[in-house]
Structure 1
């Protein structure tokens, strides 16, 4: 049994056919040959871009010479309305300054501090699901809700039921469905005066989300000033000075950073969790292994997380098959030579996690769901060389450790109390919105254990 993946397009289509497919779904717009290619060149009348799918090239671009391949400015065209000048979009000294301030908040010791908030959000989610036992549920809605709850509890010490938090969540759900991962301008170099193809609803929702975040950050700045702020991630980030300049984030700067924390910490986790639950429903033997492991996890604690080995491997496998961010775009700062091909200065370099994680020349049975692969020599080798769900190098996601605690914890808490079953005729079709989601949602039947 092979988990669902998009049907690739024919190898040869016209530019306009490709652009229509791209706007419909980024993943199915790509040809099947990319699952075996080490590198591919895309030519249009306007530009050329290069997809790299070879570990050595990925390592060069993301790790060894990352400064020579900054994040493409084109990627910001689609996300700027929401993320502004956040750490996800900036480059150079601005990005380095932001990381110097943000990284300490996610250092090892802070994970232990945030664990109780993660646990409370997980327990609250399980409590809400009891009323749905026996029913068909849309899983992405459930995982989006719990992941948002985790972010609000760890970042601002408020549950999702908090009035402002609830409004942000509702607006963000609408935003992610409207906005593709990559705006067309990421691939077509449009002049500045050409509209960026954002719908009116997308612009309005982004504006509304930022206004709500502004209220949260302004309130927190006031609490910090009068000494009443809780010791959570927002306080830590807002009070950490840049060691190079001694300056902290201004409130306006913090709005951009909170926006990306919500995108990276909520949207990506929700995607990974939803696919993990679907995979467990599709493979009931693995679901029972996770449930059995969860029964021994009666009093969840940070130190006990190390015992969730099966659950962690399941979550890791879900991230491999359905990486929340399926593609990243870098830009060459100077002329390059990749695999005997000239790569001109300024060319977009696409690192496709979707294809790298399913590279037929690297992975054993790449399209199969097999959490046991991480114990094999092939799995261990590929984990080192061809597995980058959180990116790699200096720009690796600062919340990677956070996500690898949150995901297995939530899965364990849910599988301890519930069983998830597939529904005939409702096979999810993965598409790329802000993250890899299902075209019509992921529907499962919820059964109480």
Structure 2
């Protein structure tokens, strides 16, 4: 339990990188890790309603995320997705791209003041990713007073909140109060109060006809096609909290590891930098031509998936691989293990962006690659994240050469996969 609360990855034995299925027993519940592609598809694609998201992971996040789309199930979740999904459709990515470009400009300018000296790159990618979220969601830069306050307080929340609450291990009845650290509750309350201010301001702008055409406006003015209802302010605060958590935290993790891998593999870094010279204007059409950067980012997501594990719950007894699975069992789908599985991927521990052009790579992309989950609950912002990650990686490497300094980073899982002691790089102008 101590290992799980400190870092999920440290508690995993090496044999899980070959197992199709494994069982983990506690006095309170059974947990099953599923690596066989057919079983992953059964849970995530074929029968998602029979395997809803487990409440155990969400127990520790509710002070911040409330009843957001990340934590809900059933009809509540389906209603939330009907309202949210239109904001992230393909055509909307073109509309949000200028804001992403502005955030990339700001990131490059900020990094230019820190060349020639070692920097902790995760702090910088967190800043850049948060800037993207605020610009695309509320049309404000991170320097905005409220945006800066949310970003600052979120770092306090990260330090105070373990990924698993006690209730993740010991089943508690719904009526029993959950226990969270004093700092966790205080930070969550501050963040939600700040987000409420942004939502109230936007609601007033929508009413006055002066709201910008950004993601917040799109979501707050989209009615559920079945009921005609809009999100209430409280519901919108829940959703903005998860947009910030998922959109900022996961993107920051992936970009930091991508830059580290580029420092480790300078030949690939040079290829990305050469390709990125074409980025001379905020032209959305040019993103599709960044094929090398896209494959590098894909390979980063394979080796260092920001969300290392997803947990579903069996709603009725099952039988997988001749094992009897009781109702209420936890079904663990682990990108961390699936993406490095010895029986699926060729040379799974090696960094090789070219693998996606091979037959093995193409097959594994279909069956064993789930950085954004898959099926009905695939991440709404998957397309957004791929554009953002590829753009930021390309823009940074267009202008800077990155070199690794200090000790090799050790991946650990907190809210996302981060480095235990940070990722330290040196940037020099190209």
TM-score range, shorter chain: over 0.9
Cα 1:319–1:62 shift into 2, 3 Å: same
Whether contact under 8 Å (2:192, 2:241) holds in the other structure is yes
Compute the displacement of 1:192 (Å).
5.2
How big is the shift at 1:49?
1.1
2-structure distance, mates of 1:272, 1:310: 16
- Mark the CA change 1:358 to 1:196 in structure 2 (over 3 Å): closer, same or farther: farther
Deviations 1:120-143 (A, max 9, x none): 000111011111010111101110
For these two proteins, the number of residue pairs brought into alignment is 430
Q: Deviations over 1:6-44 (max 9, x none)?
A: xxxxxxxxxxxxx12212211011111111111111112
State the distance in 2 between where 1:60 and 1:177 align. 36
Deviates more, 1:109-118 or 1:41-50: 41-50
Alpha-carbon separation, structure 1, partners of 2:165 and 2:131: 28
Q: How does 1:30-109 map to 2 (within 5 A)?
A: 30-109=12-91
For 1:379 and 1:183, locate their aligned partners in 2 and report how far apart those are by CA, in whole Å. Answer: 37
User: Does the aligned pair in 2 maintain the 1:101–1:240 contact within 8 Å?
Assistant: yes
Question: Is 1:430 paired with 2:381?
Answer: no
Residue by residue over 1:192-233, the C-alpha shift from the partner in whole angstroms, topping out at 9 and shown as x without a partner, is 577645321111111110010000001001111111110100
Residues in 1 aligned to 2:261 and 2:182: alpha-carbon distance in whole angstroms = 36
- Name 2:425's counterpart in structure 1: 444
State the alpha-carbon separation in 2 of the partners of residues 192 and 304 from structure 1: 51
| 2:239 aligns with one of 257, 264, 268 | 257
Q: How does 1:149-188 map to 2 (within 5 A)?
A: 149-188=131-170
For residues 271-290 of structure 1, the aligned pairs below 5 Å read: 271-290=253-272
Partner of 1:13: none
Of 347, 362, 366, 1:380 maps to 362
Matches within 5 A, 1:17-28: 19-28=1-10
User: Residues of 2 paired with 1:304 and 1:296: CA distance?
Assistant: 8
Aligned to 1:411: 393
- State the distance in 2 between where 1:92 and 1:26 align: 27
| TM value normalised by structure 2 | 0.98
Q: TM-score, normalised by structure 1?
A: 0.94
Q: Deviations over 1:363-384 (max 9, x none)?
A: 0111111101111111110000
Per-residue CA deviations over 1:336-371 (Å, capped at 9, x if unaligned) read 001000000111111111001111100011111110
Q: Report Cα offsets for 1:88-107 as digits up to 9, x if no partner.
A: 00000000000000000011
| Cα distance in structure 2, aligned partners of 1:297 and 1:152 | 23
Give a deviation string over 1:49-68, Cα, whole Å, max 9, x none.
Answer: 11111110000000000000
**CA positional deviation for 1:436:** 0.5
Identify if the C-alpha distance between structure 1 residues 219 and 438 changes in structure 2 by more than 3 Å, giving closer, same or farther: same
**What's the secondary structure of 1:27's corresponding residue?**
helix
Distance of aligned partners of 1:422 and 1:149 in 2 relative to their CA distance in 1, 3 Å threshold: same
* Residues 197, 288 of structure 1: alpha-carbon distance in 2 compared, 3 angstrom cutoff: farther
Structure 2 gaps of 5+ residues are: none
User: Using the alignment, how far apart are the partners of 1:182 and 1:115 within structure 2?
Assistant: 35
1:5-16 aligned at under 5 Å gives the runs none
Question: Taking structure 1 as reference, are residues 298 and 229 closer, same or farther at Cα in structure 2, changes over 3 Å only?
Answer: same
CA contact (8 A) 1:25 1:431 kept: yes
Q: What is the distance in 1 between the residues matched to 2:131 and 2:40? A: 34
Q: Which residue of 2 aligns with 1:7?
A: none
1:223 lines up with 2:212 in the alignment: no
